[in-house]
Amino acid sequence: MSFSIRKQGDIVVVDVEGQLIVGNRQELKQKVLDELERGERKFLIDFSQTGYIDSSGLGVLVSLSKKIREQGGELRLANLNDDLKTLFELTKLDTLFQIADTRERALESF
């Protein structure tokens, strides 16, 4: 499991590879907060290569969403598979996040 970060225009794109769970959530949080600290304001997290997400991972996404918004930024999510969509729907977090079907659509939505 790892996270890769790249810039696409003025948008920071984060790919979550493997699981986003209790054992690695802090790593994702710190990477995004570091970018926020550097002045980045637009963030896209892409889950196309993600396995499963636990409650800790969901909690980190909520936390990042709040911190980015506090700084006047935006966070978008993309490429949730059907199982991950169900997870977001069960927890009603699909109502909290802007979720795009594809990375391209998410990038266009900023």
Interface residue list for other proteins (CB under 8 A): 1, 19, 21-23, 51-56, 58-60, 62-63, 66, 81, 83, 86-87, 90-93, 95-96
Minimum Å distance from CB 92 to other proteins?
4
Question: Strands, E, within 31-89: which ranges?
Answer: 42-46, 50-53, 74-78
Which CB atom, from 5 or from 93, has the smaller least distance to other proteins? 93
Which CB atom, from 26 or from 109, has the smaller least distance to other proteins? 26
Q: How far is CA 44 from CA 47, 85, 90, in A?
A: 10, 16, 22
Q: How far apart are CA 110 and CA 8, in angstroms?
A: 12
Minimum Å distance from CB 9 to other proteins?
29
Which CB atom, from 56 or from 110, has the smaller least distance to other proteins? 56
Minimum Å distance from CB 86 to other proteins?
6
Minimum Å distance from CB 7 to other proteins?
27
Which CB atom, from 91 or from 98, has the smaller least distance to other proteins? 91
